[in-house]
Amino acid sequence: MTAPYCVRPLAPDDFPQASRLLARRWSREADCGRPVDHERDYALILPLRTGGHPKLDGLFEDEQLVAMWELDPACPGPGWSTSERRERSVCVFLLYTDPAHRHAGRLVSLWLADHFARNPRPPVWLRCSIPDDRLAAHITGTWGWQKVRQEGGRHLLQLPPQLKLHLDLLIAGQPVCAAPGGSTRPPALARTDHS
């Protein structure tokens, strides 16, 4: 049985799909009356064209990109206390999901929690900060994240790494999930923090 979803680093051949996902996301945000930073978002994926983005990963369903994200292991950022900053954590810096795929964010959260729980030295927390009240409520209510507090207009959220038994039946990782056309990141840019 093949898992219906897979996670892998994005490669140069994924640039068109990443561009289309952003366009759908921008349209959805505009429909909801939320501001969109086109330049920042596009700058995130632009290095894919040359293979120069070592941190961007994607969730695929039937070879279609349904979510992409960037992690920031040098976190947490503003708003977190001194004691929280001392805890080993990995932050979700940016996460974009296809608005047509209602469960992509939850699947990414499950995969991240399981993935980091399998590390030899797992972080204590996965963390993120969210400026939008409705989105923060959705992430805590649907994706399983915990709200720590609201600080400086941002909701500080965290998720403990936790093994998810049999998640591999739903979401496959590398090497099962190959990049299109044999395209891969150059070896110097390959991720070394996970398998």
**Any idea where the domains of the chain sit in the sequence?**
5-179
Rounded alpha-carbon distances, angstroms, from residue 195 to 40, 42, 113, 132, 182? 28, 27, 14, 33, 18
pLDDT of residue 54: 67
Distance CA 44, CA 107 (A): 22
Q: Which residues of the chain have pLDDT under 50?
A: 182-195
Give CATH for domain 5-179.
3.40.630.30
pLDDT in tens, 149-188: 999 899 999 999 999 989 989 998 765 555 555 444 333 3
Local structure of 193: helix, strand or coil: coil
List CB contacts of 189: < 8 A, sequence separation 6 or more.
51, 52, 53, 54
pLDDT of residue 77: 79
Strand ranges, E, within the chain: 5-9, 56-61, 64-72, 89-97, 125-130, 146-151, 154-159, 171-172
CA 15 to chain centre: 16
pTM here?
A: 0.85
The total of other beta-carbon atoms located within 10 Å of residue 5's CB is 20
